[in-house]
Amino acid sequence: MRVLDRGSVTLIDHMGSDLTVCNAARVSFNSESEWCQDQEALTRLAETGSKYHKEDVQCLCPKDQKLIRYLAKHQHWTPFAHPQITLRIKAPVSIRTQFFKHKQGFVENEISRRYVSFEPEFYEPKWRGKPTNGAKQGSEDFISVDNETDMGYTNALRVCLYNYNELLRNGVAPEQARFILPQGMYTEWYWTGSLAAYARFYKQRIDEHAQWEIREYADAIGRIISPLFDFSWKELTT
């Protein structure tokens, strides 16, 4: 899923379901739930004569919906920590830093410019105005800047890239040459976390006080995870 100008969020793998959450909670009582059948879906499919798999007509039983709602409302996080999601994320370095502040329930492996040789890519943002209320962080609406200022940013990126390649051409080790690359450079990483961890990340980073760029990533992540854990995600994030 495309984010910003050159960023992305891609689902790599996931484990578990809404039912996993229920059974993680019910193990305390040595009991286990099973999927119910969606009678409305069965009726529609019967009317059209369509073939289907059992996954197409399974749904949470009402008692399990009630359980998930209770767990989320009272912040019983551990059952939501069993399902896992792995994403591949491409974002500017300065935005990656905000992702990596979320440590509990996550593990990451990032691309390294010590080893890769492809040309770096850079974020070219649409500019926003600085706060007018005296705040030291945040931004306001999108603004226009004069062409000279806008080109100054683009030219600075070109200079960084040129000097980076010159350092490499002159035999400097990649692990040192990369010091000249700016925070606007894109990087990529695998990010694996629990459903609970992603929900906490989403709620913090979709908030209107979060930086606009990280909100765009939070929105993309929410749209990817929601269909995988439909009922749990809704209860955890609303």
Q: Where are the beta strands (DSSP E) in the chain?
A: 2-3, 7-15, 36-37, 58-59, 84-92, 106-110, 186-194
- CA distance readout (Å), 129 to 34, 50, 126, 138, 191: 53, 54, 10, 9, 31
Distance, in Å, from the CA atom of 166 to the CA atom of 180, rounded to the nearest integer, reads 11
The yes-or-no answer on residue 158 being catalytic is no
- CA Rg value for the chain: 23
Catalytic site residue from 96, 128, 205, 215: 205
Report phi then psi at 174, rounded to 5. Answer: -55, -35
Distance, in Å, from the CA atom of 19 to the CA atom of 35, rounded to the nearest integer, reads 7
Distance, in Å, from the CA atom of 218 to the CA atom of 206, rounded to the nearest integer, reads 6
Residues with Cβ within 8 Å of 161's Cβ and at least 6 positions away in sequence, in order, are 119, 120, 122, 181
* Count of Cβ atoms closer than 10 Å to residue 84 Cβ: 17
- Position 88, amino acid: R
Please say whether the beta carbons of 139 and 130 come within 8 A: yes
**Beta strands 7-15 and 58-59: pairing type?**
unpaired
Q: Looking at the DSSP assignment, which residues form a beta bridge with residue 191?
A: 87, 108
Distance, in Å, from the CA atom of 24 to the CA atom of 83, rounded to the nearest integer, reads 10
Q: Indicate which residues carry an active-site annotation.
A: 205
